[in-house]
Structure 1
Amino acid sequence: MPSPTFADSSAAEPPERGSVDALISQTRQLRGSVDAVRRDTWSDEDDPRLRWQRALCDLAVHHLDDLGQQLGQLREGLPPEPEVPDSAVAAAIPLPGVPQQPGRGSLLSRVGSAEWNFLTDEVDWSDELFRIFGRAPEDGALSLDELPSVVLPADHPQLTAMVTDCLVEGKPIDGEFRIVRPDGAECTVHMMGEPVLDADGCTASMWAVLRDVSELRRSQQAVHETHDSLQRLRHFAQTERRLAVELQEAVLPPWRGSLRFPHTGPASLDVAAHYLPSASSAHIGGDWYDAMPLPDGRTLLSVGDLTGHGVTATSGMAMLLGALRGMAVAGVAPGQVMGCLNHLLDAASQPALGTAVCCRYDPRTGSLTWSQAGHPAPLLFRDGTGRALPAPEGVLLGAASGAAYGQAEEQLHPGDVLVLHTDGLVPPSTELTPSTELTPSTGLPPRTELTGSDENSSGAQRLLGLAPRLSAARSAQECVRIMAEEFGDAERECDACVLVARVGS
């Protein structure tokens, strides 16, 4: 019902149809595009990012639906004898793909009007307002005194303040409150209105337009909730990564540069290592490297990798590395060490798989005893050429209960360079394909000398191509620098470790 204040105002002329038609067409196209994006967000219900995108799309759809319907009314203009206030929409042009169900979907079904006359105590509600409140017209409209009976108690102060400001101070009404329908459903109503004054300046009546904004508010709430969920997940991921980094730094050897094991002797090892992070800072994995002198004068060298990322992988890596060190100090042979690590992973409460290489070097004889569990074999560089050591039998750690692990021995000579690495050192994008033919000028051995899978072998071929440079290096640290320059800037999906041991001359 229009306000008496504007009763004598003439109806505005509708705008030109062509410009409004163009706006309606643009709105329809945009609505279709949003629908297409919304359909794409249903691929994974568990992804919080997709839930947030879908909630934003739903919110945009609500706004575009209302915009299209309002533009349709603007094109048609007001009817000669309006039955709803100027603020309500008397006609709507449905957009493609938008269902128009009674009581839901169309703008008319969500907008109603009311007038409370204080001189006659009469209350006039539109049919749409009865539908919004879920009341039958024969039940009668609610007076201002009765209106709080259907409003949630928490919203009583808001409603009272709006009505009081309107009636006492003559302020326009613009606010929301929640109502409970007779069927128990909760509805959010947005009310706009103003007082109507008599000739003496007193409030004679109050009129208002009320709109059901429940779906719009639910969409907005979904956007806020998914945004908050994403923020919590991001904070959790940052915290987990920080813990993983701190744990990794606490477990990996703190030494930087070259070390000599043992500290004296002509055949002692010059050792250096390097950690290469993945392209994504979130992928802190379970890679490790280690070198330590043993009580009997020999030296332990090991590298390995545990599946997974984050705190779980780094804590599992810490467990394996601690067990490996303890058994090596106790004099357990490399093959038996691998069997014990396999049992440790197999019996763990959280199943995981791992790969590892464990080497024990005796400087008195120059012999290297080693064992492996599904890991790339160590690479030996001598006199400008390189080769992968023939690998003894050994399956992935945690893959099979009671698995047996073999041992192999290799005689190292003064000036030899031994490289242990995890399989993420050479990213797939830079690896040679299995069909690549090596020329004699590279100094590489035949393809058949490499062991392991094709992927590991192709990565080893790239490493073996550095044989002339590594053999000419004067220290283990220089060898690490050469490999870091070659592979350090490459985009890798996971982190990697490399350990270099050079036999003194």
Structure 2
Amino acid sequence: MPHVFADRPGHATDPAPRDPVASLITQARRLRGEVDAVRRGTPRTDGDARSRWQHALYDLALHHLSDLDEHLAQLNEEPPDPADFPEAAPFAPPPAPGPRHGRTGSAEWNLLTDEAHWSAAWYEIVGLDPSTPALTLDELPSLVRPEDHPLLTTMVTGCLIDGRPLDGEFRIRRPDGTERTVHMTGEPVLDADGSTAAMWAVLHDVTERRHSERALHESHASFRHAHHVERAAHQVAVDLQEAVLPPWGGPLRLPHRGPGALDLAAHHLPSATGTLVGGDWYDALELPDSDVLLSIGDLAGHGVPVTSGMALLLGALRATAVSGTAPGPLLGVLNHLLDASVQPALGSTAVCRYRPASRTLTWAQAGHPAPLLFRDGTGRVLPPPDGVLLGASSGARYGQSEVPLHAGDLLLLHTDGLVPRRTGPAAHRRLLALAPRLAAARSAQECVRTVIEEFGDQEREDDACVLVARVVD
């Protein structure tokens, strides 16, 4: 559907006139209509710095295009007759505005007769009744803000005495109390002997343009500030996440070295853009009784509040586990912690307590993908005990399951998003298909590398974690 002109609704497809000036006017109006249509079709969100900046640019462009349309229209107007000023030598002032005179006016001050002539548009700009006499050069400062008097005096003096063109911007106060910003240009008019006989000027109301420029500057500054704050917050979130996650460049060596020890490796995969830092974590900790705590989880959301909440949650998880609390009751403690926090939050996690002496795994989950157990070249999903998301229900109770492990067994824990665009059973099927390759791996680190080779290069909307635990002979 073609755009509709703002000035001439319903005539967007009118043929361009043959007259060059009329053609330019038509093109300027068409462009203004198209810019206005795009502006109106662009959503504006006051809380979004980028949105405010875009709309400020559109508004400024529309003001410039309106000025262009007005100036082009004046090319078809008749200029004032120099005979109206017989005392002065012929001169060529700019065209006086016609019916579209809303923002540009012209004036002439005759120094020989002390007469002043203002166009209707000049009266309109300064807010005076056209039936009243035009103000003389001595009276003109009465319309100007006191702070701008020196500028006006310098401009007029330079024009009348030194013959310099007028060119300056100042503010006027209208009788109704409103204020306008105007730009005045002009030149001295010389008589036959070269003396200044008159001064003509054009007054252009630039209030809206200056307002748009200020809005653009402020919105751009706000946008840059918001971008700076966003980048700083992103870096804080990244630093906090890196400080919390174990720096496993290779397999994690736990102090326990006897039969049933675990070979561990893990990896964090960022989102495709790298700008969304979430609350995903993985962790492994040897407990005072030589049991091993494995956990993986995801606190919903992104940014510093989420990564700091994740750090708090992980700290509470470790402290509760060290006290000897089993996985099921431990999740009840974490759920109470989130439920009682000032800012509501939701999280999912799988917590495992592994006993090397008996090679027994006790685990619980809170709305999290179940661990995968690989044995003898095949894999299966461990049946999950009951458990809802952390923070979803006050007083929730969490079940736990016990699974015997064998030498060579491999346990894979992960967060949602490890398999891009796949969750639940679909993600499990993709991961279980890696069983032959995982069976051929010689270490937990090689297993993690296999998972990353399969899924690491794919674009993911959120970050993800994977943790592999391999029971050593």
What is the correspondence of 1:363-378 to structure 2 with a 5 Å cutoff?
Answer: 363-378=356-371
What is the correspondence of 1:483-498 to structure 2 with a 5 Å cutoff?
Answer: 483-498=451-466
Task: Give the equivalent residue in structure 2 for 1:206.
Answer: 199
333, 339, 344: which one aligns with 1:340: 333
Structure 1: tracts of 5 or more residues without a match: 1-15, 93-105, 432-454
Contact 2:96 2:106 in 1 (8 A): no
What is the correspondence of 1:258-273 to structure 2 with a 5 Å cutoff?
Answer: 258-273=251-266
What is the correspondence of 1:42-441 to structure 2 with a 5 Å cutoff?
Answer: 42=43, 44-74=45-75, 76=76, 78=78, 86-91=93-98, 106=100, 108-428=101-421, 431=422
Mapped to 2, the partners of 1:77 and 1:195 lie a distance apart of 23
Contact 2:187 2:200 in 1 (8 A): yes
Contact 2:96 2:119 in 1 (8 A): no
Alpha-carbon offset, residue 80 of structure 1: 8.5
Mapped to 2, the partners of 1:269 and 1:340 lie a distance apart of 27
Contact 1:304 1:422 in 2 (8 A): yes
One-letter amino acid matched to 2:442: R
Task: Give the equivalent residue in structure 1 for 2:14.
Answer: none
Question: Quick one: structure 1 residues 471 and 154, their matched pair in 2 at CA, closer, same or farther if it must change by over 3 Å?
Answer: farther
Contact 1:88 1:111 in 2 (8 A): no
Question: Quick one: structure 1 residues 86 and 172, their matched pair in 2 at CA, closer, same or farther if it must change by over 3 Å?
Answer: closer
Question: Quick one: structure 1 residues 176 and 79, their matched pair in 2 at CA, closer, same or farther if it must change by over 3 Å?
Answer: closer
Alpha-carbon offset, residue 119 of structure 1: 3.1
Contact 2:364 2:399 in 1 (8 A): yes
State the Cα deviation string for residues 325-374 of structure 1 (Å, max 9, x = none): 11111111111111111011111111110001111100000000111100
Alpha-carbon offset, residue 406 of structure 1: 0.6
Alpha-carbon offset, residue 301 of structure 1: 0.5
One-letter amino acid matched to 1:478: E
Mapped to 1, the partners of 2:164 and 2:80 lie a distance apart of 31
Contact 2:78 2:95 in 1 (8 A): no
Alpha-carbon offset, residue 45 of structure 1: 4.0
Contact 1:116 1:123 in 2 (8 A): yes
Mapped to 1, the partners of 2:300 and 2:147 lie a distance apart of 52
Alpha-carbon offset, residue 128 of structure 1: 1.6
Mapped to 1, the partners of 2:109 and 2:210 lie a distance apart of 27
Alpha-carbon offset, residue 189 of structure 1: 0.6
Q: Which stretch of the first structure deviates more once superposed, 81-90 or 217-226?
A: 81-90
Task: Give the equivalent residue in structure 2 for 1:5.
Answer: none
Q: TM-score, with normalisation over the residues of structure 2?
A: 0.90
Task: Give the equivalent residue in structure 2 for 1:473.
Answer: 441
Mapped to 2, the partners of 1:132 and 1:323 lie a distance apart of 69
Q: Which stretch of the first structure deviates more once superposed, 63-72 or 477-486?
A: 63-72
State the Cα deviation string for residues 79-101 of structure 1 (Å, max 9, x = none): 69599974235447xxxxxxxxx
Mapped to 1, the partners of 2:30 and 2:24 lie a distance apart of 10
Alpha-carbon offset, residue 133 of structure 1: 0.6
Task: Give the equivalent residue in structure 1 for 2:89.
Answer: none
Give the number of equivalent residue pairs: 450
Question: Quick one: structure 1 residues 130 and 26, their matched pair in 2 at CA, closer, same or farther if it must change by over 3 Å?
Answer: closer
Mapped to 1, the partners of 2:469 and 2:96 lie a distance apart of 82
Task: Give the equivalent residue in structure 1 for 2:19.
Answer: 18
Contact 2:96 2:105 in 1 (8 A): no
Q: Which stretch of the first structure deviates more once superposed, 295-304 or 137-146?
A: 137-146
Mapped to 1, the partners of 2:262 and 2:447 lie a distance apart of 13
Contact 1:416 1:471 in 2 (8 A): no
Task: Give the equivalent residue in structure 2 for 1:448.
Answer: none
Mapped to 2, the partners of 1:492 and 1:208 lie a distance apart of 64
Question: Quick one: structure 1 residues 77 and 187, their matched pair in 2 at CA, closer, same or farther if it must change by over 3 Å?
Answer: closer
Question: Quick one: structure 1 residues 43 and 207, their matched pair in 2 at CA, closer, same or farther if it must change by over 3 Å?
Answer: closer
The alignment partner of 2:169 has SS state of strand
The alignment partner of 2:325 has SS state of coil
Contact 1:362 1:368 in 2 (8 A): yes
Alpha-carbon offset, residue 199 of structure 1: 4.1
Question: Quick one: structure 1 residues 280 and 89, their matched pair in 2 at CA, closer, same or farther if it must change by over 3 Å?
Answer: farther
Question: Quick one: structure 1 residues 327 and 142, their matched pair in 2 at CA, closer, same or farther if it must change by over 3 Å?
Answer: same
Identity, % of aligned pairs?
Answer: 62
Contact 1:282 1:310 in 2 (8 A): no
Alpha-carbon offset, residue 262 of structure 1: 4.0
Question: Quick one: structure 1 residues 207 and 70, their matched pair in 2 at CA, closer, same or farther if it must change by over 3 Å?
Answer: closer
Mapped to 1, the partners of 2:227 and 2:80 lie a distance apart of 57
One-letter amino acid matched to 1:66: D
The alignment partner of 1:287 has SS state of strand
408, 417, 430: which one aligns with 1:462: 430
Q: Which stretch of the first structure deviates more once superposed, 35-44 or 331-340?
A: 35-44
Alpha-carbon offset, residue 275 of structure 1: 0.6
Mapped to 1, the partners of 2:187 and 2:239 lie a distance apart of 63
Question: Quick one: structure 1 residues 91 and 182, their matched pair in 2 at CA, closer, same or farther if it must change by over 3 Å?
Answer: closer
Mapped to 1, the partners of 2:109 and 2:81 lie a distance apart of 22
The alignment partner of 2:302 has SS state of coil
How big is the alpha-carbon RMSD for the aligned residues of Structure 1 and Structure 2?
A: 2.1
Mapped to 2, the partners of 1:139 and 1:119 lie a distance apart of 21
The alignment partner of 1:459 has SS state of helix
The alignment partner of 2:402 has SS state of strand
Task: Give the equivalent residue in structure 2 for 1:439.
Answer: none
One-letter amino acid matched to 2:308: S
